[in-house]
Structure 1
Amino acid sequence: MENEVGCECQLCGGRRGVVFCGAHGGRLCLQCDRALHQAHGGAGDHPRAPLCDSCNAAAAELRLNDGATLCGPCAYPYAYAYPYTYTYVYTGCPTPLEMMRLLHAAPPPPPATCSLQQRGEGEELLPTLLSATATPNTATAAPMAMPPPPLQHHTTTSLIMMIRNIHKREERNRAKLRFSKQIKYACRKAGADARKRVKGRFAKASSSSSSSSSSSIDHRL
């Protein structure tokens, strides 16, 4: 299955990112998240949270009833219009069943199947993580008791598109405001350049008009 552009794991580059690690500043798939934070003792204390479904670049803070997870800025326009619950921040390496409850996603396969040598876009973003996962882990995943409930993809997609349209509209308004300021500045500058100056200062309109009229009379004489 192909991943959407901008949603892939920033460590392996081959699977969709579902969690966000604030310490590393990148999104990770379940396989890389488990293998990475299991291989290094200190990395297990890094707080992680589900990935925002709208911007795919921050940790989600709210979960809507239809399953969409949103960070604070993306959820602000709809925080009081839709029922929601808060997402959980976790550390360490939860069991597959706990991860299913936290993320509403299937638990990862054994970390041994995660090939960290296939470096994608995460090679520039997370250079120090690859060395920490050189030794593969052979732990096996616990069997799932029940599959997660299906999500209402249509409602989730519609909400995400609405949030993105709001961001685009705000950006267009800011661009129009910048263009209007540039036009006003150019008009004022052109008017200032056309005004007469006396010793570096703008001359009064009455004096400039009287001087121009007297010069025209002298010219006729």
Structure 2
Amino acid sequence: MVTCDFCGERPAILYCRADSAKLCLLCDQHVHSANALAKKHLRSQICDNCAAEPASIRCATDGLVLCQECDWDAHGSCAVSAAHDRCPVEGFSGCPSAFDLASAWGLEIEEKKTTSYEWGESCWRS
């Protein structure tokens, strides 16, 4: 498990390319709601294999998101690549909620209303 570069406590699941930072969801919300420039930072999930790079491919067959290098290692041969259901991972910017991120990643969770303190309500305001 890789810990969040900001809080150092929770597991990091997002990679911010602009800051080269690995962040947990709460810290991502805090850092990227700070100002209009921070909201433009492109982020994506962290590779499930190496936990060091941003994910670029989702392999539904293996249930993993992988960076380019780990994808090549796992799916480099044409036979393996063709047999696996893979698609590119799109980065995101702005301040989506945890529910929105989970939905975008194909996870089914129940949406809960949170307080502005928990998720940085100002993130959605201009």
TM-score (norm 1): 0.45
Equivalent residue, structure 1, for 2:103: 101
- C-alpha contact (below 8 Å) 1:31/1:111 kept by paired residues: no
What is the SS of the residue equivalent to 1:27? strand
Equivalent residue, structure 2, for 1:83: 85
Q: CA RMSD in A?
A: 2.5
Equivalent residues in 2 for 1:5-154, closer than 5 Å: 7-65=2-60, 66-79=62-75, 80=78, 81=80, 82-103=84-105, 104=107, 110=115, 112-113=117-118, 137=120, 139=121
Equivalent residues in 2 for 1:186-197, closer than 5 Å: none
- Where do 4+ consecutive residues of structure 1 move more than 3 Å? 103-111
- Unaligned runs of at least 5 residues, structure 1: 115-136, 141-221
- Unaligned runs of at least 5 residues, structure 2: none
Higher share in helix: 1
> Would the alpha carbon gap of residues 28 and 97 (structure 1) be closer, same or farther in structure 2, given more than 3 Å must change?
same
- Higher relative CO (CA 8 A, sep ≥ 6), structure 1 or 2? 2
Higher share in strand: 2
Alignment partners' CA distance in 2, 1:57 and 1:32:
18
TM-score (norm 2): 0.76
